[in-house]
């Protein structure tokens, strides 16, 4: 992961303030992600969170975006997460559905800090959380996120480039 520092003097027309949740809990961080038919990835993601993090210090919010596979039944069986079940409309674009899922999760966050991940993110160490807490709480940090997938195999990189070449152009 990388932490980018924000320089307020470079922006005009924006104001930046710390988010103070309405229902502040004793937990310091919320981990949020959206699930859509990713049972195996979601299961691994949650297993890593439970194994490697202190669940007394974090809350985990998972939004299920209308999965019709066995991932929803699995999520319902996990009692240490906040599960939000959404039913996106048929006309809702997948990108919008993901964003709307994140909006639904944001409304449920009760901690001062939030980490948004994808269901294929595996957290191997609590050091990540400690670093995020200390760096985010320092001055001028606005957002933290992944810059790149470090271990993407070469065949996936090539396939992605080919797909981009043959993608139909959108009408403006």
Tens of pLDDT, residue by residue over 72-105, are 999 999 999 999 999 888 888 888 888 899 999 9
Mean per-residue pLDDT, 148-170 = 72
CA atoms within 13 A on the CB side of 115: 25
* Helix, strand, or coil (residue 25): coil
Mean per-residue pLDDT, 136-143 = 62
Look at residue 5 and tell me whether its pLDDT is greater than 60.
no
pLDDT at 158: 83
Q: Take residue 21 and report the two structure tokens written for it.
A: 């949740």
pLDDT at 10: 42
Rounded to the nearest integer, the mean pLDDT of the chain is 78
pLDDT at 25: 61
Mean per-residue pLDDT, 23-27 = 65
pLDDT at 145: 58
């Amino acid at each position: 992961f990388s932490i980018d520092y924000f320089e307020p003097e470079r922006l005009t027309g924006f104001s930046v303030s710390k988010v103070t949740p309405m229902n502040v809990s004793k937990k310091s961080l919320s981990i949020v992600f959206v699930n859509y038919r990713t049972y195996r990835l979601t299961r691994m993601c949650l297993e890593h969170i439970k194994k490697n993090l202190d669940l007394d210090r974090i809350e985990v919010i998972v939004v299920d975006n209308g999965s019709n596979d066995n991932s929803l039944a699995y999520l319902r069986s996990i009692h240490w997460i906040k599960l939000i079940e959404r039913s996106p409309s048929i006309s809702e674009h997948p990108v919008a559905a993901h964003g709307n899922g994140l909006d639904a999760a944001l409304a449920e966050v009760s901690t001062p800090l939030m980490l948004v991940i994808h269901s294929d993110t595996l957290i191997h160490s609590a050091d990540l959380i400690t670093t995020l807490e200390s760096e985010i709480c320092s001055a001028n940090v606005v957002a933290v996120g992944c810059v790149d997938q470090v271990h993407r195999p070469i065949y996936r990189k090539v396939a992605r480039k080919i797909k981009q070449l043959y993608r139909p152009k959108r009408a403006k």
